[in-house]
Amino acid sequence: MCTSQEHINIPEMIRKKRDKQPLSAEEIHYFVQGVINQTIQECQIGAMLMAIRLQGMTLEETVKLTQEMKISGVVLEWPKEWSSTMVDKHSTGGVGDKVSLVLAPALAACGCKVPMISGRGLGHTGGTLDKLESIPGFNINKSPEEVKQILATVGCCIVGQTADLVPADKKLYTIRDVTSTVDSLPLIAGSIISKKGAESLAALILDVKFGEGALYKDINDARELAQYLVNVGDRLGIRTAAALSKMDNPIGRNIGNSLEVIESIECLKGKGPKDLEGLVTCLGGHLLHMCGKAGSFKTGESNIKETLQNGCALDKFQAMLVAQGVTADLAKALCAGKDVLKRAVKREELKAEAGGVVQAIHSLPLAKVLHELGAGRTQPDQAVNWTVGIELLKIVGDQVNKGDPWLRIHFEDPSLNESQKIILQHSLVIGKKVENGPLVTEIIQVQSQGEKRHNCPV
Ligand code: IUR
């Protein structure tokens, strides 16, 4: 492959893509190598990304791009006997989404190995790493050797991405961000699936959200992304499926880093909110089925549920905390439900302005106010206040009387102001009755080219 690369020239490659011609495997290799070796100018990378954004890529091109990105850095290696048990999940992000904190230990309790590589929050969705870092001592920086050690002893870990894992994504993502080329299916697939590929997984479940609080408002757009990701994941040799899940209301009752840890622990004890537990058991059930640990989705789902009820998932969570730097005493106290996390100094309850049944709680305005109060970040290196958050005292489907407290907000500095209170009040929708189905509406499975769509209801 290297010998003929002298003939490749970047302006010519950009012209090809600009004119909607497919790039060869050799050209894609050369492009990704040039990105990491800095032999391609940033303006050329930007031009190529825009050409891809406007003209798209064939599945073949996207698979090649993803493979090249995956091998641009370290690819994690596991003992042979683990190969069928390596699983992970990726979510497109939602308000109050704390699924990873519960799912990783529940899967470990079912015998899987879960090398979960997560991100920090940016924009309106909270990051899994921020939630975990609200636990004093929790360390997200683990080397591949340390990850392997934790997987050997505990079975799951939740860590940050290291600089040597998929360096091409870091570079490309930075340039996508400033060239309006984030929203491109091939580039999104390359970014997400290359990182999962570098984890050397057997099976992957994607939680692709749609609705008011999601990146994709429309289910058809979410389905298109999900199908694309599933096809690319499959072509990289990972058994991949996607759940389409509704993101209209926050997930669970708690939003905000440390409050979400507390709610996750409730869920790990089988006492979590129904929507959160349903999402965990659905995603986990599919993973167990896909990696062969359960004979069917239904069996997988009930296995996950059992680990929440019998304390095994909570034990794994506690062990993971200790393996990642939390003292044994603190991990034990936290899992026993003791009030050990730092709490915000100020709290205020809002009262319902009308009576009826809660039909919706718009998640984006809640996230926006929490962001302003310091729960989230706008710049990647900004500090967050882990104590800032919201407890929903009423959720969708609950009966509420005029004057009932429905939301408790935790804040410090800055203080909650009047216009933020109005925004929060407007996010509560009260009506007469509500249809409240499961969050997951569809499971997307691999579809080879030309094959008729064969997706299942849940
Ligand atoms: N998450 C990623 O890891 N990559 C992307 O391109 C997007 C979300 I959009």
- What's the pLDDT at 381? 79
Sites in the chain below the pLDDT cut of 50 = 1-3, 452-458
Q: Is 280 in the pocket of ligand 1 (CB under 6 A)?
A: no
- What's the pLDDT at 157? 98
Nearest atom in ligand 1 to the alpha carbon of residue 188 is 6
Q: Are residues 187 and 251 in the same domain?
A: yes
Query: What tens digit of pLDDT does each residue of 414-444 get?
Result: 999 999 999 999 999 999 988 878 899 999 9
Take atom 5 of ligand 1 and give the residue whose Cα is closest.
Answer: 188
Q: Which of 69, 89, 188 to mutate to test the pocket of ligand 1 (most atoms within 8 A of CB)?
A: 188
Q: How many CB atoms lie within 10 A of CB 332?
A: 15
Q: Are residues 28 and 152 in the same domain?
A: no
Nearest atom in ligand 1 to the alpha carbon of residue 92 is 8
Secondary structure, 3-state, 326-370: CCHHHHHHHHCCCCCCCCCCEEEEEECCCCEEEEEECHHHHHHHH
Contact (CB, 8 A) for 344 and 415: no
Q: What is the CATH number of the domain that holds 33?
A: 1.20.970.10
Q: Are residues 378 and 449 in the same domain?
A: no
Q: What is the CATH number of the domain that holds 363?
A: 3.90.1170.30
Query: What tens digit of pLDDT does each residue of 136-145 get?
Result: 999 999 999 9
- What's the pLDDT at 123? 67
Q: Are residues 220 and 270 in the same domain?
A: yes
Classify 220 as helix, strand or coil. helix
Q: Are residues 300 and 368 in the same domain?
A: no
Q: Are residues 443 and 426 in the same domain?
A: no
Q: Are residues 356 and 317 in the same domain?
A: no
- What's the pLDDT at 380? 75
Q: What domain range includes position 276?
A: 80-335+439-454
How far apart CA 382 and CA 407 sit, in angstroms, is 27
- What's the pLDDT at 458? 46
Q: Are residues 189 and 222 in the same domain?
A: yes
Q: How many structural domains is the chain composed of?
A: 3
Q: Which of 9, 255, 3, 245 is nearest to 131 (CA)?
A: 255
Take atom 7 of ligand 1 and give the residue whose Cα is closest.
Answer: 188
Take atom 6 of ligand 1 and give the residue whose Cα is closest.
Answer: 188
Any residues with CB less than 8 A from the CB of 163 and at least 6 apart, and which? 170
- Gap from CA of 399 to ligand 1 centroid (Å): 38
Take atom 1 of ligand 1 and give the residue whose Cα is closest.
Answer: 192
Contact (CB, 8 A) for 203 and 114: no
Altogether, the residues listed in the chain come to a count of 458
Alpha helices by DSSP H, listed for 112-256, are 128-133, 144-153, 167-178, 185-197, 219-235
Q: Are residues 287 and 371 in the same domain?
A: no
- Gap from CA of 89 to ligand 1 centroid (Å): 13
Q: Is 192 in the pocket of ligand 1 (CB under 6 A)?
A: yes
Nearest atom in ligand 1 to the alpha carbon of residue 183 is 9
Q: Is 182 in the pocket of ligand 1 (CB under 6 A)?
A: yes
Active-site positions?
A: 90, 169, 176, 191, 195
Q: What is the CATH number of the domain that holds 289?
A: 3.40.1030.10
Q: Are residues 281 and 386 in the same domain?
A: no
Instruction: Assess if residue 73 is contained within a domain.
Output: no
- What's the pLDDT at 233? 98
Contact (CB, 8 A) for 150 and 157: yes
Contact (CB, 8 A) for 323 and 153: yes
- Gap from CA of 169 to ligand 1 centroid (Å): 9
Q: Is 191 in the pocket of ligand 1 (CB under 6 A)?
A: yes
Classify 266 as helix, strand or coil. helix
Q: Are residues 128 and 256 in the same domain?
A: yes
- Gap from CA of 188 to ligand 1 centroid (Å): 5
Q: Is 188 in the pocket of ligand 1 (CB under 6 A)?
A: yes
- Block residue for tokens 């990051």: 127
